[in-house]
Amino acid sequence: MKTWDYATSGGGNTGKKETGCCNIDSFNDARAAAVEHGFPHYILDIRDEFGDFVVENFVEEYMAGRTPNPCVMCNTHIKWRALLKRADAMGCEFIATGHYAQIHQHTNGRYFLRKGIDETKDQSYVLWGLQQDLLSRTLLPLGTYHKTEIRQMAHDFGYPELAKKAESYEICFVPDNDYRGFLKRRVEGLEEKVDGGNFIDKSGKILGMHKGYPFYTIGQRKGLDIALGKPAFVTAIDPDTNTVVLGEEEDLKANEMKVGKINWIKYDGLPDGYEAFTKIRYKDKGAMANVYTTENGLNVRFYGDVKGIAPGQSAVFYEGDDVIGGGIIQRSELPFLSK
């Protein structure tokens, strides 16, 4: 799939060799394998849809003081539906992707995600937005293998260079991993619009000036360019006042959060107080919580404090290795036991 044109669309890699997932080397690797094994190779060009939805959402979320997850947005709204549309045109019943996760069918008839057996590479977290019509037609053949096994297979099948190919961790349309530079290129006059805001502490005391609220994320410690005589962390962001709140690491802790835009997977809903293992970011170890349904989504109460709940990130709920569902974090709350 061609999702992004780095050379002309502000990918942060202009004039250099493309390093994202849509680079020419990746296309050529896939094409060579297809030719060798006698099946056609196609490239789906979804740059317009990707730019209009995923990239614009990415920019809008940072401008709203939130921290987005573009992979979730792409999988949920763009990539899967584009693949299935093409599959329908070709008369194919299923699509297959290289994600490290599994799909199973429950006795209740619903399809659900399960963690890949290689927990170090598990990608079930970024797939929580897939609905039943998508899950029921998807195959994830890598979910029952470890990454080392897949690399060995590639080597054994005669693709030694693919077997050694480096992994990509950056945002696919920001291959230099400089999201701040990307925002500056996408939003005309951004630096002038947001420059001169204040760092404050939780009491409202002004600590100094910052470079603009979109350039900070919850939990950030490095790159603040302010000396307070002790470690400082971003604990809150207010886009309306261009204010960034700094505090101690302890101030990042909360044990309750609001979650919206819910997609249930294994069940079509949960009883109030349901116990679920909850992850608040991709590499999060997770924590147990009780989940309560509200008028606007979910209220999630953790058994203990968790650190760095960031609005805009995904909350994904697990029952053992099975994904129950997920949603978008709206905000964190002060410890409910002290209310």
- Tens-level pLDDT at each residue, the chain (339 residues): 899 886 655 555 544 445 556 677 788 888 988 999 899 999 999 999 999 999 999 999 999 999 999 999 999 999 999 999 999 999 999 999 999 999 999 999 999 999 999 999 999 999 999 999 999 999 999 999 999 999 999 999 999 988 998 887 778 899 888 999 999 999 999 999 999 999 999 999 999 999 999 999 999 999 999 999 999 999 999 999 999 999 999 999 999 999 999 999 999 999 999 999 999 999 999 999 999 999 999 999 999 999 999 999 999 999 999 999 999 999 887 554 433
Q: Which of 82, 135, 81, 128 minimizes the C-alpha distance to 105?
A: 135
Measure the CA dihedral 193/198/201/204, to 10°: -100
Q: Please give the tally of structural domains in the chain.
A: 3
Residue 183: inside a domain, yes or no?
no
- Domain co-membership, 158 together with 216: no
CATH code of residue 228: 2.30.30
- Domain co-membership, 109 together with 28: yes
- Domain co-membership, 240 together with 257: no
- Which entry of 22, 71, 74, 92 is annotated as an active-site residue? 74
Residues whose CB is less than 8 angstroms from the CB of residue 41 and which lie 6 or more positions away in sequence, other chains included? 30, 31, 34, 35
- Domain co-membership, 143 together with 269: no
Told to judge if 71 belongs to the known catalytic residues of this protein, a careful annotator would answer no
Residue 19: inside a domain, yes or no?
no
- Domain co-membership, 157 together with 38: yes
In this structure, which amino acid lies at residue 161?
Answer: E
- pLDDT at residue number 21: 61
Told to judge if 21 belongs to the known catalytic residues of this protein, a careful annotator would answer no
- pLDDT at residue number 339: 34
CATH code of residue 78: 3.40.50.620
- pLDDT at residue number 210: 96
The DSSP secondary-structure symbol of 320 reads T
Scanning the structure block, which residue is given the tokens 């849809």? 49
Residue 177: inside a domain, yes or no?
no
Residue 59: inside a domain, yes or no?
yes
Q: What are phi and psi of 163, to 5 degrees?
A: -65, -25
The DSSP secondary-structure symbol of 255 reads E
Domain boundary among 143, 163, 183: 163
Residues whose CB is less than 8 angstroms from the CB of residue 153 and which lie 6 or more positions away in sequence, other chains included? 145
Q: Which residues pair with 269 in a beta bridge?
A: none
Q: What are phi and psi of 261, to 5 degrees?
A: 55, 55
Residue 132: inside a domain, yes or no?
yes
252: tokens are 């990042």
H helix and E strand count, the chain: 10, 14
- Domain co-membership, 214 together with 327: no
Residue 169: inside a domain, yes or no?
no
- pLDDT at residue number 10: 56
- Domain co-membership, 133 together with 201: no
- Domain co-membership, 133 together with 83: yes
| Contact between 43 and 1 (Cβ < 8 Å) | yes
Domain boundary among 163, 180, 210: 163
- Domain co-membership, 153 together with 232: no
Chain-centroid distance of CA 253 in Å reads 21
| Contact between 280 and 327 (Cβ < 8 Å) | no
- pLDDT at residue number 175: 81
What is the extent of the structural domain holding 137? 24-163
CATH code of residue 321: 2.40.30.10
- Domain co-membership, 38 together with 156: yes
- Domain co-membership, 224 together with 256: no
Domain boundary among 212, 247, 282: 247
Return d(Cα 312, Cα 330) in angstroms, integer: 6
Return d(Cα 149, Cα 256) in angstroms, integer: 40
Chain-centroid distance of CA 230 in Å reads 31
- pLDDT at residue number 336: 44
Give, in order, the Cα–Cα distances in Å from 41 to each of 93, 118, 127: 18, 29, 25
Residue 109: inside a domain, yes or no?
yes
- Domain co-membership, 150 together with 116: yes
Residue 110: inside a domain, yes or no?
yes
